[in-house]
Amino acid sequence: MDEVNNTGSTPHGSLPPRPPAKSLPSVSRLFPHRSRTEDENRATNVSFRQADNSVLQSPHYNQSSGELYFDQCFRVERRLGAGSFGEVFKVQSKEDGGYYAVKRSRDRFRGESDKRRKLEEVKKHESLSKHPNCVEFYKAWAERGHLYIQTELCKMTLQSYAEQNHKIPEHILWSFLVDLIQGLHHMHSHGLLHLDIKPENIFISFDKVCKLGDFGLSVQMNERDFTDAQEGDPKYLAPELLQGHFGMHADVFSLGITIFELASDLELPRNGDSWHDLRRGRIPWQLTAGISSDLKGLIKSMMNPDFQKRPSLAELMETSVVQRTIAWQRRKRALCRMWNKFQGFLSLLFTLLSAAVFKILSPSKHSMNQDEIDAPVIKHRHPSSWDLSFSDDEIFESDISHGSLGCPLGSLSFSSEEDACNIQHTKPIHNRRPVSPGFEVPGLSFSSCNIWSVEDLGALCQEWSW
């Protein structure tokens, strides 16, 4: 028996056991193994509120199908935009029929660290409670190495609005600024820095409200290590970020220079002397003709080169001009809501009145036309009180070329009772001749007429329009 060393288990003269292959997952004898590729191909829910990221469930999603969850559960209307981080689509949900925006990451996950970094956007968005000036988050999922984020759909970006409107009135600039101040203050109150405020990441809703969106570069303020933080667009970048000074003041600068760009209709420089001049307080106010001193003073304070002297968002909200704008916005939106309700009431009232008028003017299914009421009803027998006497001339002057016969009188002889009650003449009678006993008419055979006079037959002809 081989000698065992002090460490315990490996015999002398034998090779050490091979380490398990790092590329192969451990195998369990109790639970069936599911490969990593199989997990990535399924649409798994991404949420930091739930401990279990389970497979998404939807009546329109078939896991065994080769189609993506995105293609099975949404109808893509059009692509709204694309950037370095991904592309955004306007979609309609097949489940509830609503319209949403879905952002899909451009590249697949390049390992676990890259996946965690991309999922941080979901974590930040989920931690932010609902606010009218922040784009609403609905859900996120991962499938085949890509991240999908479903959010509220807005009408356009602020960048698109600025491209369509080069002379924006000042009252609209104030409305945009106050909306963004409130949205950014909401983010900061939840401990989030946006760090990428620019017109492309600001959205205008269908009721003309500005909303902050795209939290891909946002970071937590309580984090002490900002080495993984990424810089935003250099055109809107605060100068202190280049020295590593992260804080709420950086978002205040980016918001201020964004409003200055809208007010001046200026294409901001990405670098060079003009870029440094704007960050040294040398602002070309001559490009902002027609802008009030209040707005200029607010923009100047937000773009102060010394970030410690910039006003905070709480201080900006306490200024009189911002308070007046907030009060004006509330009154305006309350009136808009009342007007929309009034329009809905008028639409409903018009629909009810139209239905009532149609009900009154349309003929009832139980009513009959007067002509139908007065139409002659064929009788099987005549009352004995009728006077059926006519002269010979009146008999042959009557037009008997058309008409129909009713059921026969009791003295008339027919081949059958059914023939007698369903007699119709399709050919008019043109050859008029005296009527005599035993005469024949096409379709009728009178075997005995000796009890009828010529006057009686004439009366019958006129009465039954034969």
Q: Give me the active site residues, please.
A: 196
Calpha distance 279→9 (Å, rounded) = 70
Q: Are 147 and 87 in contact (CB under 8 A)?
A: no
Calpha distance 452→435 (Å, rounded) = 10
Which amino acid belongs to residue 173? L
Closest listed residue to residue 94, CA positions, set 68, 120, 112, 76: 76
Nearby residues of 395 by Cβ (< 8 Å), 6 or more positions away: 435, 454, 455, 457, 458, 461
Q: What is the DSSP letter of 339?
A: H
Rg from Cα positions in the chain: 46
Collapsed DSSP state (helix, strand, coil) of residue 424: strand
Residue 418 to residues 36, 378, 407, 422, Cα–Cα distance (Å): 87, 16, 9, 6
Q: Are 447 and 437 in contact (CB under 8 A)?
A: no
219-220 and 440-441: which strand pairing? unpaired
Closest listed residue to residue 105, CA positions, set 74, 149, 60: 149
The encoded tokens of residue 196 equal 């990428």
86-93 and 99-105: which strand pairing? antiparallel
Q: What is the DSSP letter of 243?
A: G
Residues belonging to the chain: 466
Calpha distance 211→180 (Å, rounded) = 7
Q: What is the DSSP letter of 44?
A: E
44-45 and 137-143: which strand pairing? antiparallel
